[in-house]
Amino acid sequence: MIARHAPRSTARRILAAVAAAGITAWSGSALAEAPTDYCQKVTARAEGDAALLIAPTVHVQLVRFPNGAAADTSGFQIGRGFQPRAALSLSFIDIYKGFGVIDVAKADCLRQQTASTLEEVVAQRADIGRAPALERKLAYLRSNENAVKELVRNAEERFAAHTTTLAEVQDIRLHSLSLTRRIADTERELAAIKARGLSMPAQPLADLLRSYEERTLAVENDVAHVRNLAPWKFTVTGGVAATPRADYFGVAELSYNLGGLFSVGSERNAVEARANELKNARYEMRQQVEAITRELRVNAEHTRQQAKVIEEALLRMSKDRASLDGTEAPNKHTLVTTMTLQMIDLESEHTFLVAYAEKQAAVGGVK
């Protein structure tokens, strides 16, 4: 289709519309967040590919007509000698594909963020739930530091008043030292876990897995959408010719490759195959996450049982300590102090186990 005398206002409107589309594409890509190196990489490459698709193509031609000249169907001569030409062409399908390429990069960035979290959890499955549980345990032990020091000081005062023995005082000091060492051990283990850099998900693994698979399929669908545009071509070209007199020309071309009738079905099959791969392949996240989820649920139940045993022991010790209030035994204060220190030790472990079970159950998806 040739339009030698297209209105110049129409050409200007077309160029303005294309420029606006290009600015929108670039501003959208510039505002896209790329918090990781992977996101920066795919975003940069997508922007480069989109630039080639969105930007117009400049043509410079030098046409040489045959020596015998050339004639159109009516017999009029249409050219002779050399004719320089300059043109600018735009492919509106390619512009649309450019936006699609940027959308693919954004979707792939979201997919990678979820995949990275899952990979970290799989790699450090033994640490799941330990850090918050250790923090609660450490907070409990530190909250009782002054109480423990006061118990030791009272024991030493009783020894100075000759109302208790040195052996009893030493036993209380050893219990106090054990609690101090427990604080140091907890701090060291907590620091080691934090140094490994595990970022625990704020949602159950099953929800995180579902998000990963949905985002992965979103990427596949976006890629298929862009690829399905390949058979289509819609290009508008406008330019000027210098001889035999200066004039301008325009060409609009719409084409379709019949192979697209088959490629669309192939792309659909590829997306379906990827969905099946996510569900069934042993190397995919589903198999690993489901194994970890089962393990977390079993561990959470076992940890709850341990916490219950300690809770029952604490209840018995509390009753035994209360029974000493009505006695006048000479070593009453020493027994009460020793039992109090033992209960603080057991309570710290109970605090850890309860928090550990809660976190493992939450990540494992147990209500």
- Same domain assignment for residues 18 and 92: yes
- Same domain assignment for residues 224 and 349: no
- 164 C-beta neighbours (distance < 10 Å), count: 21
- Same domain assignment for residues 228 and 345: no
- Same domain assignment for residues 85 and 17: yes
The boundaries of the domain holding residue 159 are: 130-199+291-364
Q: Please tell me the total count of domains within the chain.
A: 2
Determine the Cα–Cα distance for residues 130 and 363; give it in Å rounded to an integer: 12
Is residue 223 one of the residues assigned to a domain?
Answer: yes
Q: What pLDDT sits at residue 72?
A: 56
Tens digits of pLDDT across the chain (367 residues): 333 333 444 444 434 444 444 444 444 443 344 458 899 999 999 999 999 999 999 999 888 777 765 555 555 556 677 889 899 999 999 999 999 999 999 999 999 999 988 888 888 888 888 999 999 999 999 999 999 999 999 889 888 988 888 888 898 999 999 999 999 999 999 999 888 877 777 778 889 999 999 999 999 999 999 999 999 999 999 999 887 788 888 999 999 999 999 999 999 999 999 999 999 998 899 998 999 999 999 999 999 999 999 999 999 999 988 888 777 767 788 888 999 999 999 999 999 999 999 999 988 876 6
Find out whether 252 and 2 touch, Cβ atoms under 8 Å.
no
- Same domain assignment for residues 21 and 116: yes
Is residue 325 one of the residues assigned to a domain?
Answer: yes
Structure tokens at 195: 């140094």
- Same domain assignment for residues 108 and 149: no
Is residue 285 one of the residues assigned to a domain?
Answer: no
- Same domain assignment for residues 116 and 15: yes
Q: What pLDDT sits at residue 323?
A: 85
- Same domain assignment for residues 34 and 116: yes
**CB-based contacts of 243: which residues, under 8 Å, 6+ apart?**
81, 82, 83, 84
- In terms of Cβ atoms closer than 10 Å to its own Cβ (0-12, 13-18, 19+), residue 65 is middle
- Same domain assignment for residues 258 and 179: no
Last residue of a domain, one of 249, 280, 311: 280
- Same domain assignment for residues 230 and 181: no
Q: What pLDDT sits at residue 33?
A: 43
DSSP secondary structure of 162-214:
TSS-HHHHHHHHHHHHHHHHHHHHHHHHHHHHHHHT----SS-HHHHHHHHHH
Find out whether 95 and 52 touch, Cβ atoms under 8 Å.
no
Last residue of a domain, one of 280, 309, 335: 280
- Same domain assignment for residues 16 and 110: yes
- Residue 35, SS3? coil
pLDDT digits (tens, 9 = 90+) for 291-338: 999 999 999 999 999 999 999 999 999 998 888 877 776 778 888 899
Q: What pLDDT sits at residue 328?
A: 74
Q: What pLDDT sits at residue 247?
A: 87
